[in-house]
Structure 1
Amino acid sequence: MQNKPIRAALLGAGYISSWHGNVLRRLPNVEITAVCDLSLNAAKNLADQYGAPNVFTSLEEMLAANVADCIHVLTPPNHHRAATEQILNAGVAAFVEKPFALNAAECHRLDALATEKNVALGVNHNFLMLPSYDKLKAAIKNKTIGPIDTFEANWQFPLTPLRSGPFSLWMLRQPQNLLFELGPHLFAFVADIFGELENVSVELRNPIVIPGGITHHQNWQITGTAMGAAVTLNLSLVEGHDNRSLRVRGIGAVAQYDFAEDAYRIEQASMKDIVVAPLMRQFSLAGQSLKTGITNAIRQTKSLNAQAPYGLSIHRAIESFYQSLASGEPVDRRLSAGLAARTIELIEVATEQATPKFIPTQQPQTHETKPSNDMTMLVIGGTGFIGRALCHALADEGYHVRVFSRGRGAGFERTDNRISVFTGSLKSDTDLTMAMDGVTGVYHLAKATEASWEGYLENDVAVTRRIGEACLAAGVERLVYTGTIDSYDASQADRPITEDTPFDHDLERRNLYARSKAACEMELNDLAATRGLPLVIVRPGIVIGKGGPLQHWGIAMWRGATACKLWGDGRNIMPFVLVDDVADGLVAAMQAENAAGKSFNLIGDPLLSGQDYFKAIEDGAGVAMRAQPTPIWTYYTVDVIKYWLKRVLAKRSGLTKPSMRDWKSRAQLSPYRNEKAKEILGWLPESDRTRFIERGITNANLFGLNKK
């Protein structure tokens, strides 16, 4: 008789939940039975993806329903302790994402509770479970490395939210949160290999002030000693080359573990003649790297990238934990609550050393504003790059601004208090009605990021229709919607694009974002034509400026902070526009009487090509940018290959067929005209090339480096 499947449930429907869900559905004798999230729609969407029959909006309801043998705790870190405690008290196993909790005492209490209730408890520290780490541990155990002299752990990986948001993320709310969010990646290695860290000191560099006045340090160097070894942990969050690795020097060898790539190599003294030894040493290192590269490439190809290092680490962790559940054996030490508690203890010590060096929260900035006109504007999508600039531009104009946000707002503090935050769901008619109470105009800048057309229909197109209907019900004077120039066919260099240019005639073969934005416009235009919705549509170009991302995919396909592949040869003029100019255009779209019923392409004057853009970065930042001209047909060819692999090997349906025109449009080969916005809106985008580069590139702090 076959054993009953282990029933798994997901608590939290955010980004990490899909990684866990994808693993669970591939495990034998495991079934996903429930999803729980504060957002009912988010829980339903994830449950539908995995065929989970039960959906809940509270952990209490899920536990009362007795539908799970193990619950994965995938909530923000500040909720881990309470959720895990509830789960364990109910006699249900828990698998918790790092950090386990926010202080060691809580961790130890949870560990003791699991023992008392006789239920399994595991904590995921991803990179402890990769095959290459197994090799490093084996080299330590069998004394190949010998007594460790120095140990260096690096998490040198850009954290874009520090520069362009969203600033309401838990890890950005306090300076120490960064260490609790990212530190477990490094401290778990120390806890596993050494178990201790003494004589701890912390150096902080490169401060950056995020909206809201909180100062975060983008460089942390934590030093100490452990079992006689000098230990250094480097945390760097500025734009730069990805270096997530361990370097272990022992008496017998030096080992390197790149946990971002799941690559391991070891260097020992050569037994060859002194003349040949250097050559043979390099052959050994090259051979190890080649073997690792081939092994990883085969694994990732067979799994269609599902077994890339990050996914593989989660897979091996969850698989190991469920093997323990099935057998009744203790969990792997690397997943144990004891090791997780020790990790948090080490982080607490480092935080104590760092806290006196934190810079106090700064007071809100003083803005030069016009007298209040008592009108309130609702901005949906106001926490994004363009949205933030718009909110401050409206407040500077004298408006009161209400930002519609899914979570706690952060970073809109002003001395004039003209910006407030309304928390709600765009799928709730009640929330939309409350948010629009007393509002004169509404801006809809929100966008969805989905993996399927069905997802876009539900979370972008249907939501936009609901917002339009709510505007009609509330009697707002004007709705300004931001579409995208990506919906145009920009593949023809000899055809200028204006607002009268129709969208691509075959949008079903364009990228899902372009297709969805066009569908949103159709829904709103229908409401305008049939029910009198007061509508203005604006389509910003490629928006750059302070607060924007360095790795903007409208400009190139990025492979790192200084490496990218251009869409084509990169010589054609690109539709760049400054974020402050876009904000001014959006304000004008609300104010101009004769703008109603019209659409506007907010494109800056023709100033820079893709190659010009990267040359300006080189000149301003003093770094060589490898912007490689790349024929469009190569992107299309790779897309075709991926399409058929997904259809044939992964048996996936509903895929968008590759389109050469879509790839050509990404190169923005067609020139754009902006006369309509200038004439009707009185819009004056930056026209001086030197000032444009200064505002959009040189002074935009794209790399996050503090040069003071």
Structure 2
Amino acid sequence: MSMNNKPIRTALLGAGYISSWHADALKRTPGVDLVAVCDLSRGAAEGIANAYGAPHVFTSLGDLLAANVADCVHVLTPPHLHADATAKILEAGLSAFVEKPFTLSSDDCRRLEALAQKNNVALGVNHNFLMLPSYDRLKADIETRLIGPIDSFEANWQFPLPPLRSGPYNLWMLRAPENILFEIGPHLFAFVADLFGELKNISVSMRNPVTLPGGVGHYQSWRIAGVAKGASVVLNLSLVEGEDNRSIRLRGLGAVASYNFAEDSYLRERASMQDIVAGPLARQLSVAGQAMGTGFSNAFRQLKSLNGLAPYGLSIQRAVDSFYASLKAGAPVDRRLSAGLAANATAMIEQALDVARPQFMPKAPPPARNVAPAKGETTLVIGGTGFIGRALCHALADKGYDVRVFSRGSGGGFDREDGRITVFTGSLKSDDDLRAAMEGVRSVFHLARATETSWEGYLENDVGVTKRIGEACLAAGVARLVYTGTIDSYDASQPDRPINEETPFDHDLTRRNLYARSKAACEAELKKLESERGLPLVIARPGIVIGEGGPLQHWGIAMWRGATACKLWGDGKNIMPFVLVDDVADGLVLALETDGAAGASFNLIGEPMLSSHDYFAAIEDAYGVAMRAKPTPLWTYYMVDMVKYWLKRYLVKKQGLTEPSFRDWKSRAQLSPYANETAKSVLGWTPEQDKQKFVERGVATANLFGVSKS
């Protein structure tokens, strides 16, 4: 299928996380126009379409295909939908570019490959990291026989997967134990498929078990071994917290080669031609020279692209470039993007799962809970699948409430014997969905938050959504709306000024980070509805929330550079506004039940106990790992931010940027002390008083690394 003389019209099917990476790549690809975005959520589709100038938005694949606006569709849906969607696209005479995993069945892979050939359309599969420059160098050394026949091959995906510990648990890859291997395994099996073709004599061992809310058991570490073309092959998959090791290493008869695909670096080690004295030095100098050259090359590329072409983005970019070059020329796609290679990788995953399934843990029944009698009252929790939201949902259910969780997906982690938590699936940008969700509801909690990169995005997807929720509460006649703001909206840059509920927000929020600014704007919209139309409102502002189910790498505490490495906000000696997640959930329930809370705001801050230094010392004691928490002057963050701001503004000509503020960086250090007397006196809130118990609940038993300490 050749398209030499006109731009290729492309659509995205799916508007989730990966869609922006594909949209960025398409924007950089000459001769390709992004014309449409399709997603079940119109709001999500419109968000991507508006950001990248796509004129068409659809909520069903059938409507997209019937509109005849595209020549090619990128399939970016959850994996279990890939096969059916791709078949419909190919049958309609359009080309398809599918994110890994291609499908969940090698038979489906080959069926779709045949369907593409029958209809004379292009079909490509994106296996990330097969298209990076460093992998090209590895392949060249293999093809020129410099490495020689391969004796052993090891591929590693040792990279934390926080949802295993802190959710959201409704992700497709967490719904069944085999899904993780289908989701992450293709990264490793694609290398085997490309270099060897197939893997035989497969054995599988697993460790680090974890049972998620809902009873699904997963193993966080897999070791898959076999033989391929006479070479010993080992694939290591580990999802616990720890240092990032995403790499392959192989030993050939002529050289040892290492490819770090997380960093796009390649090192080749060969025997030195020097004598026994100078040889070791010459070998290390060779390795150092290769590393230095790669480091400078990658740094220049990432600086030039303002990090848009870091390895992950670069791998997608090069895959997209290659696919569309083939499409324009009417040539077969690169073998690394082919359906045939994807079918081989999928077949190996199927074989590994056949070996592993007898070892899977049975689904665990929901734990017994001590609960109050049913109240016969329903409360709606928006944002209930998050860290705080899950704790709140169970706290409400334990007190006898029927809880309805508003979720974009099907929900997860709410299985209970009493059935008091149900999930309502809908879009927060749909008034009809909000009205339906609030039918029969007496109270509403709004904990949802947007994650955007522009103020316009926050206005639409956070402030606008919050206003819509407030108006829906008025229309439904709910008795109380409890909204969670953030202490980040305060100016916490002054050590000599305590902060309480009477303290005004920062006087110039336009110079603060977008999240702090947006949450303050959300509060303002709700307070306007309260004063003008009588919205029954309570606002709660949690501090830095820690506890079981929370992330290790909490950016309220530090700027993280890995599981055990971070840069502190300042010297890290001031007391931080930590609070336990269970205490926050209790405070939110009290904000609902306390008559005197109506119209008030509460800062849910724990008792002053720990500095950042103390927190990391507690982690070291509890988990036996040295934490590198580096004190970092706040002015250095500000200066780096200013440089980035000027580069984006004057080199890239990016619009709508917020000029950095030194006050914003000082506020991140939470230099001001917080008072929590209002919540304790008005709500009767009793956050943990004992420091030892606080550390035990917030750190030691919070399973921060995902590895058993026994």
TM-score interval w.r.t. the shorter chain? over 0.9
Counterpart amino acid of residue 309 in structure 2: Q
Superposition pairs of residues 512-591 of structure 1, within 5 angstroms: 512-591=514-593
**Which structure 1 residue ranges, 5 or more long, are not aligned?**
none
**Do the aligned residues in 2 keep the contact of 1:380 with 1:445 (CA within 8 Å)?**
yes
**Do the aligned residues in 2 keep the contact of 1:208 with 1:706 (CA within 8 Å)?**
no
User: Residues of 2 paired with 1:379 and 1:65: CA distance?
Assistant: 37
Q: Which of 258, 262, 268 is the aligned partner of 2:264?
A: 262
User: Residues of 2 paired with 1:49 and 1:485: CA distance?
Assistant: 29
Q: Which of 686, 696, 699 is the aligned partner of 1:697?
A: 699
Counterpart amino acid of residue 451 in structure 2: T
When the two structures are superposed, what TM-score results if normalisation uses the length of structure 2?
A: 0.99
1:225 aligns with 2:233: no
Equivalent position of 1:187 in the other structure: 189
- Give how far 1:3 is off: 1.9
Q: Which of 358, 361, 378 is the aligned partner of 1:359?
A: 361
- Give how far 1:707 is off: 3.3
User: Residues of 1 paired with 2:439 and 2:637: CA distance?
Assistant: 48
User: Residues of 2 paired with 1:363 and 1:215: CA distance?
Assistant: 11
User: Residues of 1 paired with 2:680 and 2:402: CA distance?
Assistant: 26
Counterpart amino acid of residue 529 in structure 1: S
User: Residues of 2 paired with 1:70 and 1:434: CA distance?
Assistant: 36
Q: Deviations over 1:324-373 (max 9, x none)?
A: 01111110000001001111001000011110000000001111001111
User: Residues of 2 paired with 1:33 and 1:205: CA distance?
Assistant: 46
1:347 aligns with 2:349: yes
Equivalent position of 1:246 in the other structure: 248
Counterpart amino acid of residue 666 in structure 1: R
User: Residues of 2 paired with 1:42 and 1:163: CA distance?
Assistant: 26
Equivalent position of 1:8 in the other structure: 10
Counterpart amino acid of residue 130 in structure 2: L
Equivalent position of 2:676 in the other structure: 674
Equivalent position of 1:481 in the other structure: 483
Q: Which of 469, 472, 490 is the aligned partner of 1:470?
A: 472
Question: What SS does the aligned partner of 1:128 have?
Answer: coil
Counterpart amino acid of residue 422 in structure 2: S
User: Residues of 2 paired with 1:32 and 1:434: CA distance?
Assistant: 34
User: Residues of 2 paired with 1:3 and 1:113: CA distance?
Assistant: 26
User: Residues of 1 paired with 2:37 and 2:423: CA distance?
Assistant: 28
Counterpart amino acid of residue 555 in structure 1: I
Compare 2-11 and 74-83 and name the one that shifted more. 2-11
Equivalent position of 2:413 in the other structure: 411
Question: What SS does the aligned partner of 1:159 have?
Answer: coil
- Give how far 1:429 is off: 1.3
User: Residues of 1 paired with 2:349 and 2:449: CA distance?
Assistant: 37
User: Residues of 1 paired with 2:318 and 2:476: CA distance?
Assistant: 52
Equivalent position of 2:333 in the other structure: 331
- Give how far 1:2 is off: 8.5
User: Residues of 1 paired with 2:114 and 2:179: CA distance?
Assistant: 25
User: Residues of 1 paired with 2:709 and 2:676: CA distance?
Assistant: 36
Equivalent position of 1:138 in the other structure: 140
- Give how far 1:519 is off: 0.4
1:502 aligns with 2:507: no
- Give how far 1:85 is off: 0.3
User: Residues of 2 paired with 1:17 and 1:643: CA distance?
Assistant: 25
- Give how far 1:433 is off: 1.2
Question: What SS does the aligned partner of 2:125 have?
Answer: strand
Question: What SS does the aligned partner of 2:130 have?
Answer: helix
Question: What SS does the aligned partner of 1:280 have?
Answer: helix
**Do the aligned residues in 1 keep the contact of 2:43 with 2:427 (CA within 8 Å)?**
no
Equivalent position of 1:420 in the other structure: 422
Counterpart amino acid of residue 394 in structure 2: H
Equivalent position of 1:149 in the other structure: 151
Equivalent position of 1:158 in the other structure: 160
Compare 151-160 and 401-410 and name the one that shifted more. 401-410
Q: Which of 122, 125, 128 is the aligned partner of 2:124?
A: 122
User: Residues of 1 paired with 2:471 and 2:323: CA distance?
Assistant: 48
Equivalent position of 1:46 in the other structure: 48
When the two structures are superposed, what TM-score results if normalisation uses the length of structure 1?
A: 0.99
Question: What SS does the aligned partner of 1:129 have?
Answer: coil
**Do the aligned residues in 1 keep the contact of 2:204 with 2:225 (CA within 8 Å)?**
yes
Compare 55-64 and 72-81 and name the one that shifted more. 55-64
Q: Deviations over 1:229-267 (max 9, x none)?
A: 100000000000000000001111100000000000000
Compare 490-499 and 407-416 and name the one that shifted more. 407-416
Compare 427-436 and 607-616 and name the one that shifted more. 427-436
User: Residues of 1 paired with 2:36 and 2:679: CA distance?
Assistant: 50
Question: What SS does the aligned partner of 1:25 have?
Answer: helix
User: Residues of 2 paired with 1:148 and 1:27: CA distance?
Assistant: 36
Counterpart amino acid of residue 497 in structure 1: I
User: Residues of 1 paired with 2:28 and 2:373: CA distance?
Assistant: 61
Q: Deviations over 1:669-696 (max 9, x none)?
A: 0000000000000000011111100000
- Give how far 1:706 is off: 2.1
User: Residues of 1 paired with 2:252 and 2:594: CA distance?
Assistant: 71
**Which structure 2 residue ranges, 5 or more long, are not aligned?**
none
User: Residues of 1 paired with 2:8 and 2:405: CA distance?
Assistant: 43
In the comparison of the two structures, how many residue pairs are matched? 708
Superposition pairs of residues 57-206 of structure 1, within 5 angstroms: 57-206=59-208
Equivalent position of 1:55 in the other structure: 57
User: Residues of 2 paired with 1:495 and 1:315: CA distance?
Assistant: 49
- Give how far 1:562 is off: 0.1
**Do the aligned residues in 2 keep the contact of 1:440 with 1:477 (CA within 8 Å)?**
yes
User: Residues of 1 paired with 2:45 and 2:371: CA distance?
Assistant: 42
- Give how far 1:49 is off: 1.5
1:401 aligns with 2:436: no
**Do the aligned residues in 1 keep the contact of 2:131 with 2:336 (CA within 8 Å)?**
yes
Q: Deviations over 1:452-475 (max 9, x none)?
A: 111111111111111111111111
Counterpart amino acid of residue 591 in structure 2: A
1:621 aligns with 2:603: no
Q: Which of 460, 463, 471 is the aligned partner of 2:462?
A: 460
User: Residues of 2 paired with 1:707 and 1:539: CA distance?
Assistant: 33
Equivalent position of 2:23 in the other structure: 21
Superposition pairs of residues 313-332 of structure 1, within 5 angstroms: 313-332=315-334
**Do the aligned residues in 2 keep the contact of 1:130 with 1:312 (CA within 8 Å)?**
yes
Q: Deviations over 1:485-515 (max 9, x none)?
A: 0000000000000000000000001000000
1:664 aligns with 2:666: yes
User: Residues of 2 paired with 1:164 and 1:444: CA distance?
Assistant: 19
Q: Which of 597, 605, 608 is the aligned partner of 1:606?
A: 608
User: Residues of 2 paired with 1:45 and 1:553: CA distance?
Assistant: 26
Q: Deviations over 1:16-44 (max 9, x none)?
A: 11111111111111111111111112112
Q: Which of 381, 384, 397 is the aligned partner of 2:383?
A: 381
Question: What SS does the aligned partner of 1:61 have?
Answer: helix
Superposition pairs of residues 241-320 of structure 1, within 5 angstroms: 241-320=243-322
Question: What SS does the aligned partner of 2:358 have?
Answer: helix
**Do the aligned residues in 1 keep the contact of 2:491 with 2:505 (CA within 8 Å)?**
yes
Compare 31-40 and 347-356 and name the one that shifted more. 31-40
User: Residues of 1 paired with 2:477 and 2:4: CA distance?
Assistant: 62
Counterpart amino acid of residue 246 in structure 1: I
- Give how far 1:376 is off: 1.0
User: Residues of 1 paired with 2:189 and 2:167: CA distance?
Assistant: 26
Counterpart amino acid of residue 700 in structure 1: A
User: Residues of 2 paired with 1:64 and 1:397: CA distance?
Assistant: 51
User: Residues of 1 paired with 2:53 and 2:633: CA distance?
Assistant: 42
User: Residues of 1 paired with 2:308 and 2:452: CA distance?
Assistant: 17
